Amino acid sequence: MIEIPLVLIGYGNVGKAFLKLVLEKKENIRLRYDLGLEVVSVLRRRRGCFCEEGISLPEWEEPAWEAGLDLGRVMERSDPGVVVECAASSSQTGQPGLGLMRAAFAAGWHVVTADKGPLISFLPELRSLARGKDLRLQISGATAAALPTLDTALVSLAGAEIESFEGILNGTSNYILMRMEEGLDFANALAEAQDKGIAEPDPTLDVGGWDTAAKVLLLTNSLMEQDLGMEDVTVRGITDIPVPMSEEAAEKGKCIKLLGRMKREGSTLRLEVKPEILEAGHPLFPVNGTEKGITFQTDSMGRISVIGGRSDPRGAAAALLKDLINIYR
């Protein structure tokens, strides 16, 4: 059995769900995959906890925090394993995640992340740091989480050329669009989504299409080995869809979805995000509520779509756990 020390960075909803999931599934993972997962440290802003034998169930809800504990000091105390990065970094500077990931690779740790911030502008650098030390950087948690986007493309479509993909990659805007089809205007649909905890207090990233754009960018940079930036994505969100348009789509048995798309055009790649009308036969048509979905068009395998995946902290935690297990298989 391989013993794997884990350091969890970030203790928000996803971080907590990850810790809980690992503790819940630890024995099962030992049996099925012959992997011994132990969360030896949880790090938050300016404090953390460390426990060499691994944090266990009774204590997980309120670990004994140690002021000033940071990743550097934790990595000195533990054999290398995997850093699970659930911080919320800036999409401009990539910090604090960027510095943490660089430090992790320098010290010989793999990284599994749900934090888009450092990846938006620094994915090629981070990937090359990882490769240089034969380490892995796994980013499913940042590319639609429990919906398998990268896995599908890298494993299931191995050997095929991806000519284009289009995806419903943001659950919040998909929920709002569904409610607009049912007759609400944008402001009311948004208010309802905020009430239900689906939309954030500042919903700009979601409804403005920026979260979708970031995912299209990360998928393209990962799958096509590109170094494109957010400025290469044309972005239109869902804030200005007239109600009659979405009602009309619904009446005609169609629907409006916010699609993120990558398309090869000769030797260039076109990346865009915009609301589009889908016909009933489209594979992404049944993607409702906070669900997500993606469709790949390939040369030799035809069209392949993946739909679903739990869209909450537990789903995101499960995506981190999957990435972690797949490092060692």
Q: Is 224 exposed, middle or buried (0-12, 13-18, 19+ CB in 10 A)?
A: middle
Look up tokens 């769900």; give the residue. Answer: 17
Binds its own copies by CB under 8 A, chosen from 38, 85, 115, 151: 151
> Segment near its own copies (CB under 8 A), from 82-90, 146-154, 228-236, 261-269?
146-154
User: Among residues 33, 103, 164, 191, which is the contact residue for its own copies, using CB under 8 A?
Assistant: 33
For position 39 contacting its own copies by CB under 8 A, the verdict is: no
Q: Does 77 bind its own copies (CB under 8 A)?
A: no
Whether the CB-CB separation of 6 and 112 falls below 8 Å is answered with: no
Residue 155 contacts its own copies per CB under 8 A: yes
Distance of CA 79 to the CA centre of its chain: 27
Buried b (16+ CB within 10 A) or exposed e, 166-197: bbbbbbbbbbbbbbbbeebebeebbeebbeee
310 lines the binding site for its own copies (CB under 8 A): yes
- Give catalytic residues, as residue numbers: 215
> Is residue 57 involved in binding its own copies (CB under 8 A)?
no
Shortest CB 183 distance to its own copies, Å: 18
- Which residues in 229-288 contact its own copies (CB under 8 A)? 280-283, 285-286, 288
Residue 110 CB-density burial (10 A; 0-12 exposed, 13-18 middle, 19+ buried)? buried
Q: How far apart are CA 79 and CA 69, in angstroms?
A: 17
Longest dimension (CA), the chain: 63
Strands 66-67 and 82-85: unpaired
- Per the CB < 8 A criterion, the answer to whether 292 and 171 are in contact is yes
171 binds its own copies (CB under 8 A): no
Which position among 81, 175, 295, 313 is part of the footprint of its own copies (CB under 8 A)? 295
CB atoms closer than 10 angstroms to residue 218: 22
Q: Per CB under 8 A, does 102 bind its own copies? A: no
The whole-angstrom separation of Cα 306 and Cα 294 is: 5
| Candidate residues 97, 112, 306, 313; the one interacting with its own copies per rule CB under 8 A | 306
Candidates 23, 25, 185, 235; binder of its own copies (CB under 8 A) is 25
The verdict on 1 binding its own copies (CB under 8 A) reads no
> If binding is defined by CB under 8 A, does position 317 make contact with its own copies?
yes
8 Å CB contact between 145 and 117: no
Residues that bind its own copies (rule: CB under 8 A) add up to a total of 49
Selected binder of its own copies within 23, 103, 160, 250 (CB under 8 A): 160
Which string of x and - marks every residue 4-23 that binds its own copies (by CB under 8 A)? -----------------x--
**Does the protein bind its own copies through residue 131 (CB under 8 A)?**
no
Interface with its own copies (CB under 8 A): 21, 25, 28-29, 33, 146-148, 151-152, 155-161, 280-283, 285-286, 288, 295, 298, 300-311, 314-315, 317-319, 321-322, 324-326, 329
